[in-house]
Amino acid sequence: MTEPTSRPGGLIRTIIDGDLASGKVREVVTRFPPEPNGYLHIGHAKSICLNFGLARDYGGRCHLRFDDTNPGREDVEYIDAIERDVRWLGFDWGPHLYHAADYFEQLWQWALLLVEAGKAYVCDLSADQIREHRGTLTEPGRPSPYRTRSVEENRDLFSRMRAGEFPDGSRVLRAKIDMASPNLNLRDPVMYRIRRERHHRTGDAWCVYPTYDWAHGQSDAIEGITHSICTLEFEDHRPLYEWFLDQLPVPSRPRQIEFARLNLSFTVMSKRMLMELVQGGHVQGWDDPRMPTIAGMRRRGYTPEAIRDFCERIGVARADSTVDMALLENCIRQDLNERAQRVMCVHRPLRLVIENYADDRVEEIEAPFFPDDPPRMGSRKVPFCRELYVERDDFMEEPPKKFFRLAPGREVRLRWSYLVKCTGVRKDERTGEIVELRCTYDPSSIGPGAPAGKKGGTIHWVSARHSVPIQVRLYDRLFGVPNPARKDGGDFKEHLNPESLLVLTGARGEPGLVGATAGERVQFERKGFYFVDPVDSKPGAPVFNRIVSLRDSWAKIAAEG
RNA sequence: UGGGGUGUGGCCAAGCGGUAAGGCAGCGGACUCUGGUUCCGCUAUACGGGGGUUCGAAUCCCUCCACCCCAGCCA
């Protein structure tokens, strides 16, 4: 009945195991409660995987509940995006889709109970005055002059608040707890505020809306949530969460448990900053492939499997931490290494002419899609002729010691094809730029029994006559520093990586690539994994987004000098 | 100098009184027609510091230090 606690969320599983063992709960019901005021990001994915994962492992259920108590900043656009993202991640809430707004009437009735019990009162203080009365971290607050209003007056005023008799912001309903509490959340927190704002679900039915603190725990109780998992910053709210439950005839007793939110290096995770990037035009929208949003990662080409794997590997704990982006990259590489077909695409073409290869000859070379997985059949023919394109980076006129690709006089293997030796270089007379490589090939170097390509490296290529122009977008980390969300008051946008997106203009791919369809993922050998962009690709004109590069030990060597 | 939290190798993270898992990163080597993958191996004074209890402590107690969160009618 209970799962071992070795899986992620060990700390939470330990608590659940205890509650199950003691008979405190008989089933596990969790919830993922996003506020529809922005797009979901990888940090939310951690929470989604945790909540739905717990429900799955314990044979319980997980609800998707929109925490829509503040209509002014919420929008249906976000609702749709959130549902799409959760589903895409692979989770199903079944019939358990809820909205805090569904409970507005019940919450109202319960608030009335508190008023009748003298535990809540209508306060006429302005927002500023309330703040002043609240005191500070080290000084106790002072009671509002309205704190002692009679039950009758409170009942009357509260009803008229709902009836729309008072202007926005003129009054609030407050819980009467303890103005001297060292926990500021208990200094008579606001439960309702007056706002004539049209709600996406309740329309104009209400002009008073509940605050998070007042709505959340009660919503959990109504839904029978057993374990209400949230992030660390809500820890201070737990006493309030419990206070409300203690005062009311709620149908169940949920338990709040906190865990540390996810931070990822080289990116930012706050809604505010992500919103700023979108609205400031620093990225092309919430689904820009560089964004850490679920939509962005999906557009980039990440798979739900890789994201889920990532969420499992990072674990769940209570210590603030920042996960290395390299771990995320490792997850997607591992997944795609298993499932992506290998094909060839030259990113920055350098013409290569094979002098001893007949000008009118064309060979169709058989190349497997999964070289490392023989049982998995599949291959295509790649045209080979006298004129090819190879990667500029694969040639160096004066190669350093550890460089074993093409250089004057050097021989390398052309992937799936012949060994070629560089016999000369042609340069632009004016600029001195290398414009063409002259080579000779070894006719006996192909096919079974041919000498292994031990001499040099193996490089990818494409036929200059048959290859097709390919649109490639190289995405890299959005920020150039590990922790862009610095707290020294500086602008995080100063750390944006100017090379987070490089659009390649002259890339050439093997002919078959024109047939790539939106949503496909491939590996361009020796380069990385790519995704056929579902938005910008057209039939016959695919656009490839680089999801992640391959690990590159040569780059490390080269960097060291 | 109010309250609530957290501190285990570069980054995450198990561990819950019996003598420090695992992953990522890093470093070697094997293999390889991807400088990819795979495989093997390695490194490191890792339990914030100092006391104490105990036969025995990362795990219990005391104390100190560091960092995070809280003064929205945001969530």
Predicted local confidence at residue A6, as pLDDT: 47
Nearest to A526 by CA among A546, A497, A499: A546
From the alpha carbon of A14, which nucleotide's C1' atom is closest?
A: B16
Quick one: which H or E segment has residue A418? Answer: none
Scan residues 1-30 of chain A and list those with Cβ within 7 Å of strand B: 5-6, 10-11, 14
Element at A60 (helix H, strand E): none
Whether the Cβ atoms of residue A484 and residue A267 lie closer than 8 Å to each other = yes
Q: Which amino acid would we find at residue A385?
A: C
Give the residue among A431, A351, A349 at the shortest CA–CA distance from A393. Answer: A349
Q: Which nucleotide is nearest to A33 (CA to C1')?
A: B75
Residue A171 has pLDDT above 60, yes or no: yes
Q: Which residues contact A45 (CB under 8 A, 6 or more apart)?
A: A89, A294, A307, A308, A310, A311
Which residues make Cβ contacts (< 8 Å) with residue A7, sequence separation at least 6? A13, A53, A57, A312
Q: Which of residues 255-314 of A touch strand B (CB under 7 A)?
A: 260, 265, 313-314
Predicted pLDDT of residue A559? 87
| Rounded distance in angstroms from the CA atom of residue A318 to the C1' atom of nucleotide B6 | 7
- A264 by Cβ neighbours in 10 Å (0-12 / 13-18 / 19+) ranks as buried
φ, ψ dihedrals at A9, nearest 5°: 90, 25
Length A147 CA → B5 C1' (Å): 32
The pLDDT of residue A479 is above 60: yes
Cα A411 vs. chain centroid, distance in angstroms? 44
Is the ipTM higher than 0.90? The answer is yes
Query: To which residue do tokens 């060994």 refer?
Result: A419
For range A422-441, the mean pLDDT: 97
Percent of chain A with pLDDT over 70: 96
Angstrom distance, A12 CA to B8 C1': 19
Q: A268-321 pLDDT, tens per residue?
A: 999 999 999 999 999 999 999 999 999 999 999 999 999 999 999 999 999 999
A236 closest CA partner among A177, A179, A191, A184? A184
- Whether CB of A324 is under 7 Å from strand B: the answer is yes
Query: Quick one: CA torsion of A532, A533, A538, A540, rounded to 10 degrees?
Result: -10
**pLDDT above 80 for A449:** no
The pLDDT of residue A486 is 72
Query: Cα A103 vs. chain centroid, distance in angstroms?
Result: 30
The CA distances from residue A169 to A127, A166, A192, A211, in Å, are 8, 8, 10, 13
The greatest distance separating any two alpha carbons of chain A, rounded to the nearest whole angstrom, comes to: 102
User: Residues A137-169: pLDDT tens digits?
Assistant: 999 999 999 999 999 999 999 999 999 999 999
- pLDDT for the residue numbered A8: 62
Taking residues A389-415, what's their average pLDDT? 96
Do residues A74 and A200 touch, judged by C-beta distance below 8 A?
A: yes
Decide if pLDDT at A377 tops 90: no
Distance, in Å, from the CA atom of A37 to the CA atom of A82, rounded to the nearest integer, reads 10
Cβ-contact A275, A283 below 8 angstroms: no
Mean pLDDT computed over A525-540: 98
Residue A1, pLDDT score: 25
Token pair for A27? 């089933």
**What confidence category does residue A2 fall into, taking pLDDT thresholds of 50, 70 and 90?**
very low
The CA-atom distances, in angstroms, between A238 and each of A179, A181, A545 are: 17, 14, 44
Return the H-helix or E-strand segment holding A193.
strand A190-194
Q: Are A60 and A27 in contact, with CB atoms under 8 Å apart?
A: yes
- Those residues whose C-beta lies under 8 Å from the C-beta of residue A558, and which sit 6 or more positions away, are A400, A403
Q: List pLDDT tens digits, range A217-248.
A: 999 999 999 999 999 999 999 999 999 999 99
Structure tokens at A97: 């889709």
Q: At what angle do helices A42-57 and A304-314 cross, to 10 degrees?
A: 80
Categorise residue A322: left if φ over 0, alpha if ψ from -120 to 50, beta otherwise: beta
pLDDT digits 0-9 by tens, A60-117:
999 999 999 999 999 999 999 999 999 999 999 999 999 999 999 999 999 999 999 9
Which chain B positions have some atom within 7 A of a protein CB? Answer: 1-8, 10-16, 22-27, 32-38, 67-75
Q: Which residue's CA lies closest to nucleotide B4 at its C1' atom?
A: A236
The model's pLDDT over A17-65, given as tens digits with 9 standing for 90+, comes to 999 999 999 999 999 999 999 999 999 999 999 999 999 999 999 999 9
> Which nucleotide's C1' is closest to A337 (Cα)?
B37
State yes or no: pLDDT of A125 exceeds 70: yes
Which nucleotide comes closest to A454 if you measure CA to C1'? B33
Global pTM reads 0.96
Are A486 and A494 in contact by the 8 Å Cβ rule? The answer is no
Which structure tokens are listed for A477? 């980390």
Q: Catalytic residue positions of A?
A: 35, 261, 271
pLDDT for residue A376: 76
